[in-house]
Amino acid sequence: MTDFAATKAMFDLPTGVIYLDGNSLGPLPRAATGRVGKMMQDEWGQMLITGWNKAGWMQKSKDLGDRIGRLIGAEPGHVIMGDTLSIKVYQAVASALELNPGRKVVLSDNGNFPSDLYMASGLLKSLGPEYELRVVDPEAVVENITDEIAVLMITEVDYRTGRKHDMKALTEQAHAKGVLAVWDLAHSAGAVPVDLAGCNADFAVGCSYKYLNGGPGAPAFIYVAPRHAETARPALSGWLGHEAPFAFDLDYRPGHGIDRMRVGTPPVIQLTSLEAAMDIWDMADMENVRAKSIELCELFIAEVEARCVGLELASPRDAALRGSQVSFKFREGYAAMQALIDRGVIGDFRAPDIMRFGFTPLYIDEDDVRAAVAIMEDVMAHALWDRAEYKTRHAVT
C-alpha cells in the first residue's frame, strides 16, 4: 500500500495554501533543490565536460523514461525524455503518418489540448494540401475512425473537464480500421493508471511538470511501441538520435529503438530535478493513487454541491469517466478563482467559465479537501468574487 502521509511529507508545500493545481504545475519535492545544487556544484562544477560520462548525464533521459514508463504501462526501454510535449506530439504524429502511407487524415477532437492541434496542423501544412486535420466532438471520435484516417491523435484526459477517453476501446477501433493511435498523457501520467502495452497504443507522449512534479519546464516523454521501434523514422532527426552520435558522420542513421527519438542535448539540470520527483513516485502504486484520487474527487463534488451555490459540475459525474481533476462551471469563474487564490486555495481557470481543481493524493488529503470547500463556501456566500479587485487582474496561467 502506498503511504500517502509519507509521500506528502516529501513535498515542500507553503503554509496557508491548499494546492489544487498540481494538474498544471506540481509542487517542489523537498529533495529537489539539494539534488540540483549538488549536481551543479559536484558534477557540472567539478567534472565539467567529463560529467557527460562520469556523472551519467547522458543516461538520465532513458533512466527517467523507464521510471515514468512504470506508471503508464510501457515496456521497459521504450520511453525516453526530452524536448517539450509539443515537440514530442510533432515527432509522434510525423512518425505515425509515415508508418501509414497512403492515408492523409489525422483525426482528433476539440477536447484536445490546443497545442496538440496546433502542432499537428503545422506539420500537415508543411506536408502539403492533401493532408487534413479533422477535429470532431469527443463523443464523435469513435464513429469518425474510418479507413480514411491515418492517425488518431487523442489526449486521454480533457485538460478542462477531466473527461476521460477509453484508451483501450478507441485504440482497438483504430487498429480495426488500420489507423495508428497517438495518445497524449499530459493529464494521465501520475493521475490515472495507464496501460500502454495492454492497450496496444502505437505512440504516447506526455509532460513531467504536472502530476509528475518535475518542476517548471521539466522535459516531455515519448513512448514508441516495440513493434514500431525499429521502423519509425524520426522526422526530427537530431544527432543524439543517431546510431553513433559521436562518430560525427555526415549522414543520418537512426539509433536503435527509443534512442532514435532523442533529438538534441538533454536538459541535465531539469532532469535532475525530475529525479527527485521520481524518487517519490517510486514509493507509489498507481492503483492506490487512483483509488485515493477518486475518494478525494467524490468528496470534493459532494461537499461543493452541498455547500456552494451557483457552481455547476463540468466534469463527468461517473468517476470511471474522469481523470484526477474536478471542474465546475461558473459564469464569474475567473474572478471567483482569483478570490480563492487570495484565500490560499489554488486551483485555476480555463476560458470561458471553467474553475479547475486537481486532486493529487501524493500530497493532498481529505482534510485539505474539506478545508478548501469551507473557504469556497465563504467566497461564494459573500460573493467575494464580485469585488472589482478579483475581476480586473490579468491572467497568464
Binding region for its own copies (CB under 8 A) out of 212-220, 289-297, 325-333, 378-386: 212-220
CB of 26 to its own copies, least distance (A): 9
Q: Where are the beta strands (DSSP E) in the chain?
A: 18-19, 79-81, 105-109, 132-136, 149-155, 180-184, 203-207, 220-224, 312-313, 325-329, 345-346, 348-350, 354-358
Closest CA to 199 of 155, 156, 154, 168: 168
The CA–CA distances, whole Å, from 23 to 8, 140, 161, 342 equal 16, 26, 12, 19
Using CB under 8 A as the binding rule, whether residue 5 contacts its own copies is answered as no
Q: Under rule CB under 8 A, which residues in 235-274 are in contact with its own copies?
A: 235-240, 242, 246-252, 263-271, 273
The CA–CA distances, whole Å, from 72 to 79, 115, 195, 205 equal 10, 22, 6, 10
In the complex with its own copies, the residue whose CB is nearer, 261 or 286, is 261
Using CB under 8 A as the binding rule, whether residue 166 contacts its own copies is answered as no
Binding mask 46-85 for its own copies (x = CB under 8 A): x-xxxxxx---xx------------------------xxx
Binding mask 84-123 for its own copies (x = CB under 8 A): xxxx--x---x---------------x--xxx-xxx-xxx
Query: Contact at 8 Å (CB) between 358 and 20?
Result: yes
The CA–CA distances, whole Å, from 351 to 9, 117, 174, 389, 394 equal 34, 17, 31, 19, 13
In the complex with its own copies, the residue whose CB is nearer, 220 or 278, is 220
CB of 109 to its own copies, least distance (A): 10
Distance of alpha carbon 101 from alpha carbon 103, whole angstroms: 6
Using CB under 8 A as the binding rule, whether residue 129 contacts its own copies is answered as no
For residue 144, the SS3 value is helix
In the complex with its own copies, the residue whose CB is nearer, 1 or 351, is 351
CB of 308 to its own copies, least distance (A): 22
Burial of residue 231 (CB within 10 Å: 0-12, 13-18, 19+) is: exposed
Q: Under rule CB under 8 A, which residues in 343-382 are in contact with its own copies?
A: 346, 348, 350-351
Question: Which position among 212, 220, 232, 326 is part of the footprint of its own copies (CB under 8 A)?
Answer: 220
Distance of alpha carbon 185 from alpha carbon 207, whole angstroms: 8
Binding region for its own copies (CB under 8 A) out of 99-107, 146-154, 207-215, 308-316: 207-215
In the complex with its own copies, the residue whose CB is nearer, 113 or 300, is 113
Binding region for its own copies (CB under 8 A) out of 149-157, 210-218, 279-287, 379-387: 210-218
# residues near its own copies by CB under 8 A: 91
Binding mask 6-25 for its own copies (x = CB under 8 A): ------x-x--x-x-x--xx
Closest CA to 212 of 273, 268, 169: 273
Distance of alpha carbon 276 from alpha carbon 29, whole angstroms: 7
Angle at 305 between CA 300 and CA 311, to 5 degrees: 100
CB of 312 to its own copies, least distance (A): 20
Using CB under 8 A as the binding rule, whether residue 299 contacts its own copies is answered as no
Reply yes or no: is the peptide bond before residue 216 cis, omega within 30 of 0. Answer: no
Using CB under 8 A as the binding rule, whether residue 209 contacts its own copies is answered as yes
Question: Which position among 136, 142, 299, 341 is part of the footprint of its own copies (CB under 8 A)?
Answer: 341
Using CB under 8 A as the binding rule, whether residue 333 contacts its own copies is answered as no
Binding region for its own copies (CB under 8 A) out of 33-41, 68-76, 224-232, 293-301: 33-41
Binding region for its own copies (CB under 8 A) out of 26-34, 305-313, 315-323, 381-389: 26-34
Q: Under rule CB under 8 A, which residues in 303-332 are in contact with its own copies?
A: none
Q: What residues act catalytically?
A: 113, 184, 209-210, 356
Q: Bridge partners of 346?
A: 19
Look up residue 257 and give its amino acid.
Answer: G
Identify the residue whose cell numbers are 471553467: 354
CB of 395 to its own copies, least distance (A): 6
Distance of alpha carbon 157 from alpha carbon 321, whole angstroms: 9
Closest CA to 186 of 104, 88, 58: 88
